[in-house]
């Protein structure tokens, strides 16, 4: 079955799933990141939790966090426990004992992290004989390889070339987490097939839930556009910010500003590169922002840019559709809507990034780019995504 047919089948299954009302189901969601952190799981978890609560599900979230609490935590309709980050061993150990104490209080556990939180969860669940579900996004070993200075490449190439074999401990730990899960949920067909092959996963344990159009953000007023290009996210090697900086410098768009929002382990390296290239007067660094604040702040920018070596089903694409702010994406995006994007970046080539920036600096080209982006229609919202989760959760809960 080709990818188009598979995508259509999954979308049809989404539409055919009827809403069900929970009868006292209790679900624990665990995360490695959470608002105000940048990243898909950080925004996915609270939105799904809110939707589940609206169905009568009792939801608690346990997450790693930079702080023990934030002022806005009180607004959540679910119980939120933040475990303050420390060193890796401490994170694993504390999370294990917290989960060991708590997992039996729930019908199931749903983890959006498959190593830092997923590994202690798998051990705690085995001891307590609890069922858990894993949602997969990104590629932990691949990202670690890039962070260690490995030759940049896509996620798919990393596995096809066998480079994952250089990380046997991490590979077997992740496979352990996957194989002991009741269900492993992916958000793309490509990654599901890739991991099924290389991690030896049983197809009947795998499911796919595509990302939704967010319901908590809306169209912004873009009547006063500025010549600004924005990157918003974590400064990690996977995001390919270095090539973005080099591409911006090569394009030499003197009247444009590149705004970089976020933080991360290579932030200082990016600062140094900007000064090395002599473009510090055209690049602005800003701290990370909460999602709603960020989209309000960048509403007058020309477009968002996401040049990642691979970005699996990026939520930013759907957030941009919801706000009306166009996004220039890496071609390594695994989106089912990818063919509808008129301009995409080849992350391997600085020249390609510069070429696409120059292309979009032309008003005619830019207007056509915006028109085609605005024409992309996605009807899949949080109602459908929650329906799919409920179907999986209820199947597990009724078998207890």
Question: In this structure, what DSSP letter does residue 148 have?
Answer: T
Note the pLDDT of residue 195. Answer: 98
Same domain, 270 and 314: yes
Of 167, 99, 107, nearest in space to 139 by CA: 167
| CATH number of the CATH domain containing 134 | 3.40.50.2000
Note the pLDDT of residue 21. Answer: 44
Average pLDDT over residues 136-145: 92
Phi, psi dihedrals of residue 197, rounded to the nearest 5°: -70, -50
| Rounded (10°) CA dihedral 149, 150, 153, 155 | -100
Same domain, 370 and 390: no
Confidence tier at 375 by pLDDT (50, 70, 90): very high
Share of the chain above pLDDT 90, in %: 84
Q: Can the peptide bond before residue 36 be classed as cis, meaning omega within 30 degrees of 0?
A: yes
64 belongs to a structural domain: yes
Same domain, 281 and 318: yes
Same domain, 177 and 302: no
Domain count, the chain: 2
Same domain, 291 and 329: yes
Q: Strands 183-186 and 206-208: what pairing?
A: parallel
333 belongs to a structural domain: yes
Tell me the C-alpha distance between 189 and 309, whole Å.
18
Same domain, 240 and 201: no
220 belongs to a structural domain: no
Same domain, 200 and 296: no
Tell me the per-residue pLDDT of 213-263, one tens digit each, with 9 for 90 and over.
887 788 999 999 999 999 999 899 999 999 999 999 999 999 999 999 999
Tell me the per-residue pLDDT of 29-60, one tens digit each, with 9 for 90 and over.
999 999 988 777 888 999 999 999 999 999 99
Q: What's the alpha-carbon Rg for the chain, to the nearest Å? A: 21
Same domain, 347 and 258: yes
Tell me the per-residue pLDDT of 162-193, one tens digit each, with 9 for 90 and over.
999 999 999 999 999 999 999 999 999 999 99
Does residue 10 carry a pLDDT above 50?
no
132 belongs to a structural domain: yes
Q: What is the token pair recorded at 126?
A: 């085995």
Does residue 371 carry a pLDDT above 80?
yes
Same domain, 350 and 389: no
Confidence tier at 399 by pLDDT (50, 70, 90): low
Tell me the C-alpha distance between 382 and 316, whole Å.
15
Name the region of 227 (left: φ>0; alpha: ψ -120 to 50; beta: rest).
Answer: beta
Note the pLDDT of residue 398. Answer: 58
Domain containing residue 362: 228-374
Average pLDDT over residues 101-113: 97
Tell me the C-alpha distance between 214 and 316, whole Å.
10
- If one counts every other C-beta atom within 10 angstroms of the C-beta of residue 373, the result is 21
pTM equals: 0.84
Same domain, 301 and 338: yes
Same domain, 160 and 300: no
219 belongs to a structural domain: no
218 belongs to a structural domain: no
Same domain, 171 and 206: yes
């Amino acid at each position: 079955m080709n990818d188009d047919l598979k995508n259509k089948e999954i979308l049809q299954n989404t539409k055919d799933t009827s809403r069900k009302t929970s009868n006292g189901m209790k679900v624990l969601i665990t995360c490695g990141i959470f608002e105000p952190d940048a990243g898909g799981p950080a925004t996915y978890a609270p939105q799904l939790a809110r939707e589940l609560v609206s169905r009568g599900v009792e939801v608690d979230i346990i997450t790693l966090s930079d702080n023990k609490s934030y002022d806005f935590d009180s607004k959540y309709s679910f119980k939120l426990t933040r475990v303050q980050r420390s060193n890796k061993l401490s994170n694993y150990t504390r999370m294990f004992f917290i989960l060991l104490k708590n997992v039996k209080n729930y019908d199931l556990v749903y983890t959006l992290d498959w190593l830092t939180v997923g590994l202690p969860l798998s051990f705690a669940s085995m001891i307590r004989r609890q069922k858990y579900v894993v949602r997969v996004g990104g590629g932990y070993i691949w990202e670690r390889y890039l962070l260690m200075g490995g030759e940049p490449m896509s996620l798919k190439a990393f596995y096809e070339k066998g480079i994952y074999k250089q990380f046997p401990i991490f590979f077997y730990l992740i496979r352990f987490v996957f194989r002991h899960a009741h269900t492993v949920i992916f958000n793309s067909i490509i990654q599901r097939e890739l991991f099924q092959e290389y991690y030896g996963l049983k197809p009947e344990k795998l499911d796919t839930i595509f990302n939704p159009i967010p319901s908590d953000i809306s169209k912004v007023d873009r009547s006063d556009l500025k010549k600004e290009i924005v990157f918003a996210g974590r400064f990690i090697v996977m995001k390919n910010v270095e090539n973005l900086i080099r591409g911006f410098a090569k394009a030499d768009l003197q009247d444009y500003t590149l705004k970089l929002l976020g933080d991360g382990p290579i932030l200082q390296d990016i600062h140094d590169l900007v000064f090395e290239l002599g473009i510090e007067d055209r690049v602005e660094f800003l701290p990370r922002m909460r999602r709603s604040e960020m989209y309000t702040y960048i509403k007058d920018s020309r477009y968002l840019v996401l040049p990642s070596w691979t970005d699996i089903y990026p939520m930013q694409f759907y957030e941009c559709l919801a706000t009306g702010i166009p996004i220039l994406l890496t071609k390594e995006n695994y989106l089912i809507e990818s063919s509808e994007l008129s301009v995409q970046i080849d992350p391997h080539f600085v020249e390609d990034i510069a070429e696409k920036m120059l292309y979009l600096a032309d008003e005619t080209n830019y207007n056509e780019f915006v028109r085609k982006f605005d024409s992309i229609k996605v009807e899949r919202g949080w109602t459908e995504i929650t329906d799919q989760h409920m179907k999986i959760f209820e199947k597990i809960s009724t078998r207890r």
